[in-house]
Amino acid sequence: MLVLVANLGSTSFKYRLFEMTDDGALDDIQNARCLAKGAVERIGDAESHCTVEIGDWSDQLTMAVPDHGVAVEACLKQLTDPEHGALKDASDVAAIGFKAVHGGRLSGVFVVDELVLDAMAEMNAAAPAHNPPYIAAMRTLKERFPDLPLVAAFETDFHQTIPAARKEYAIPRQWADEFHIRKWGFHGASHRFIAYRSAEILGRKEARVISCHLGGSSSITAIENRQSVQTTMGMTPQTGLPQNNRVGDFDPFALPLILERTGLSLDEALKQLASQGGLLGLSGNSGDIRDLEQAAEAGDQGSQLALDVYVQEIRRHLGGMLVTLGGADAIVFTGGIGENDSLVRKGVCQGLSELGIELDEQANEDLRQRTNDQGEASFHGSGSKTQLWVIPTNEEVIVARQTIHALRQ
């Protein structure tokens, strides 16, 4: 079965095409073959860029792409290239699976219909950068390809197993019941992949694992028996760890003071917290961890502060996860920063030998030379009770597997 997995932005359409066994279990992450990957960038501009990679062949088109429906048509044109294409015909695709963000009262995996779109629209205020472009694209695709099933796999789904005591806010009960205000958690596909793959590596499904998804957007999840039992993000993707330009945890009672002193409207202040906060706000110059490390090495104090706050917040939440789990069998780093930044991994893991966590500094530095074919490697010391791993995530294969399961219902 062929499944196209889509990751949308307001002006982008990134995708991977998978060949899947249609009888595999949800945790069957090995029996999937990525046939192609590509992207359409600058949707809505006079010139959009459509790229595709199929094996050793790659192609790029420059054309006007006014909406996501035309973007899908462009990608299908490349995928069905007579000489190099991965598809004989566009109808070979069984479904498009979306790594959707927030469905509020709907948290799971659903074939897209009006009920799903309405539930997503109810959460537009909680996920303004994600939900509106997904809704618009889904509506366009339903009109353009009425016979092609669309499936929404919400990021909140993996966190439904978190106990109530760890996901409820101390707010008036009415707000929680009527407006679905609670700690939903995100990055669900990534943390689910780490749950499944780390269990395979450790050789036991009941393992206690702390998954650190660190990148432009970051979150940490405590996993037991391959289920989420605690996570850092809350009602929205704005909360938890500082993001590259999003605020992370923040006292809402500071907002009236900000509004009073700056003259900003509430909407303007929220937009600044969502676009000028996080590591960018702390440093004053960049939200990219690579830029910050380079500037800090040159003596920039703001950049060093941003790095220090980021690492300390990871450590603070890591401590809570260790208490929740009663210790950990493994701590896994994934995402662009988690997989590639040895300084962040060192900052998070050093000085924790009393907790049974011992870092092998040389192994951490040499990690790229020690990875297996899947890019995985350990970097714990020989006496560490807790294993330390880098495992590249694969959110798309999780969404592809969830899509097949939704089609069976």
Q: What is the DSSP string of 360-380?
A: -HHHHHTHHHH--TTS-EE-B
The residue assigned the tokens 């560490």 is 384
By residue count, the chain amounts to: 409
C-alpha 121/C-alpha 103 separation (Å) is: 8
Burial 183-207 (b: 16+ CB within 10 A, else e): bbbbbbbbbbbbbbbbbebbeeeeb
Instruction: Quote the distance between the C-alpha of residue 261 and its chain's center.
Output: 35
Instruction: Quote the distance between the C-alpha of residue 249 and its chain's center.
Output: 18
**Measured over all CA atoms, what is the biggest interatomic distance in the chain, rounded to whole angstroms?**
63
- 301-325 and 289-297 helices cross at what angle (nearest 10)? 120
C-alpha 94/C-alpha 29 separation (Å) is: 18
Residues within the annotated binding site for ATP?
Answer: 14, 288-290, 336-340
C-alpha 308/C-alpha 315 separation (Å) is: 11
C-alpha 228/C-alpha 217 separation (Å) is: 18
Among 340, 360, 359, smallest CA distance to 348 is for 359
Token pair for residue 94?
């069984």
Among 4, 9, 172, smallest CA distance to 80 is for 4
C-alpha 121/C-alpha 139 separation (Å) is: 12
Among 185, 169, 308, smallest CA distance to 252 is for 169
Give every CB contact of residue 273 below 8 A, 6+ residues apart in sequence. Answer: 238, 246, 247, 250
Residues within the annotated binding site for Mg(2+)?
Answer: 7, 395
User: With the CA atoms of 405, 180, 226 and 346 taken in that order, what torsion angle do they form, in degrees rounded to the nearest 10?
Assistant: 120
Residues within the annotated binding site?
Answer: 7, 14, 288-290, 336-340, 395
